[in-house]
Chains A and B, each alone.
Chain A
């Protein structure tokens, strides 16, 4: 197992309020890492720091042995091509067809010709279990669950080495939630991508995660593989686990 990404003591505050108070962890290649925590603990902020939408106040993000946290906007293009963020909302472009939505990143970050691009778009659409008929539609014409899948396809088509999911199942019904989680698992294994999932769903974290990190109030309170989390003594983790037990019984 080789280390692909490392967060070193990341700190970030918004107008005086400290959201991340020194976060450090490592991500191994091919793992599915879940970052769990209650709402408002800075989980999404962490992901946005990685792709450069936000910059950390201090600390370093090491990707392929280089600190990317102080990269310029141009240098970040290389990072964004390889670390794709799937947003909490579908964030599809309303004015474009679904085809153009998926092709958007390919046109800008890669040098594919039209033929390869077309193949790439259709492949990634197939990978998220959507039919090709919908490609000519506008985002408003398909359901919310389909929009979510499409936004995954939009990131997937770039063949990133790390896929980042920001609360991928928020606002979905239990059936779609299950389907999206299975999709994340399948995609990670099939393309051998590393996935970092921000979520508050302990249930599916236990199902598919290789490594779990629990955040509380801007700090890591527990991290480890599934077995370690299951016998954790940290109160917040116990609450989360209790939730899962209640749901199962």
Chain B
């Protein structure tokens, strides 16, 4: 019961926070250069991790698909199936998991320590709006950066798949790539991009929310980080389901 109540409390505070962020955005959007510097910062810190994990996610999916396809002797389909499976679903999901740690936890730790060291209060006292000065550049920057990182990670997953199919399933690269378009349709690509946008928004909003909410000492920062990474993963899985439903509906409608 306690868990449920605190969950509902957090949910309410989260939507109030979103409302405040949006109304601030409409009233006084942040300067572009601050957003760019945030995007750059996120890129610098996460590019390596994203490519690394994207690569292995692709490799894992290829192994799994290859083992299943082998039963039917339909190795030709490997390229299409594993690429489509990775792009549509598993790629965005797992890479977003990773980014929620890398970007989300980092940002909430940063905001959390600004909060507990009274920097956020100082900003208010010096006549500035912390939502506009601190939260918005990060919020927008992380949405943009995470989206591009997700797409970039999925690209690396494709490379991982190509390489693994060559090493593991004896499907040569040309054969692999040739079969990609037969199964990877526009809707699959759309699904991947759509999920990336949604996940990017979830990560950006949750990490700024929990970081901004932190109060207390050093422990509160740790708590904010833990809450952020759990809330990110949890909502990513739920949103994964939700977006799959939407894509499914669109697919049928087409």
> Which residues of A101-132 are within 8 A (CB) of B?
104-105, 108-109
Choose the segment among A78-86, A200-208, A231-239 that binds chain B (4+ C-beta atoms closer than 8 Å): A78-86
Size of A's binding interface in residues, CB under 8 A: 24
Contact partner, A92, options B119, B121, B125, Cβ 8 Å: B119
Q: Does chain A have a CB within 8 A of B13?
A: no
Q: With the chains together, A53 CA to B124 CA distance in Å?
A: 8
Residues of A within 8 A of B125 (CB): 51, 53, 80, 84-85, 105
Q: Does chain B have a CB within 8 A of A91?
A: yes
> Given that A89-B117, A91-B117 are known contacts, is A109 also in contact with B127, CB under 8 Å in the complex?
yes
CB–CB A91/B119 < 8 A: yes
Can you name 16 A-B pairs with beta carbons within 8 Å? Answer: A48-B121, A52-B124, A73-B129, A80-B125, A89-B117, A91-B121, A92-B119, A92-B122, A93-B122, A93-B123, A104-B123, A105-B125, A108-B126, A108-B128, A154-B126, A158-B126
Residues of A within 8 A of B114 (CB): 94
Chain A: minimal CB distance from B124 (Å): 6
Chain B: minimal CB distance from A178 (Å): 24
Q: With the chains together, A109 CA to B126 CA distance in Å?
A: 7
**B interface residues with partner A (beta carbon < 8 Å):** 114, 117-119, 121-129
Chain A residue at minimal CB-CB distance from B129: A73
Contact partner, A91, options B122, B127, B128, B129, Cβ 8 Å: B122
Q: With the chains together, A5 CA to B236 CA distance in Å?
A: 51
Residues of A within 8 A of B124 (CB): 52-53, 80
CB–CB A104/B121 < 8 A: no
Q: Does chain B have a CB within 8 A of A211?
A: no
Q: With the chains together, A154 CA to B119 CA distance in Å?
A: 13
Chain A: minimal CB distance from B70 (Å): 54
Q: With the chains together, A77 CA to B126 CA distance in Å?
A: 8
Contact partner, B127, options A87, A88, A105, Cβ 8 Å: A105
Contact partner, A53, options B119, B121, B128, B129, Cβ 8 Å: B121
CB–CB A104/B118 < 8 A: no
CB–CB A104/B119 < 8 A: no
Q: With the chains together, A104 CA to B117 CA distance in Å?
A: 17
Chain A residue at minimal CB-CB distance from B116: A89
Q: With the chains together, A104 CA to B125 CA distance in Å?
A: 11
CB–CB B127/A93 < 8 A: no
Chain B residue at minimal CB-CB distance from A76: B124
Contact partner, A77, options B122, B123, B127, Cβ 8 Å: B127
Chain A residue at minimal CB-CB distance from B117: A89
CB–CB B119/A81 < 8 A: no
CB–CB B119/A93 < 8 A: yes
Chain B: minimal CB distance from A82 (Å): 11
Q: With the chains together, A107 CA to B134 CA distance in Å?
A: 16
Chain B: minimal CB distance from A144 (Å): 12
Interface string of A23-49 (1 = CB under 8 A from B): 000000000000000000000000010
CB–CB B126/A91 < 8 A: no
Smallest CB-CB A-B distances: 9 pairs: A105-B126, A109-B127, A91-B118, A108-B127, A91-B122, A87-B118, A91-B119, A108-B128, A85-B125
> Which residues of A54-108 are within 8 A (CB) of B?
73, 77, 80-81, 84-85, 87-89, 91-94, 104-105, 108
Chain B: minimal CB distance from A225 (Å): 29
Q: With the chains together, A169 CA to B119 CA distance in Å?
A: 18
Residues of B within 8 A of A77 (CB): 127
Residues of A within 8 A of B129 (CB): 73
Chain B: minimal CB distance from A137 (Å): 17
Residues of A within 8 A of B119 (CB): 91-94
**Which of A52, A73, A105, A158 has the most chain B CB atoms inside 10 A of its CB?**
A105
Chain A: minimal CB distance from B130 (Å): 11
Residues of A within 8 A of B128 (CB): 104, 108
Residues of A within 8 A of B127 (CB): 77, 80-81, 105, 108-109
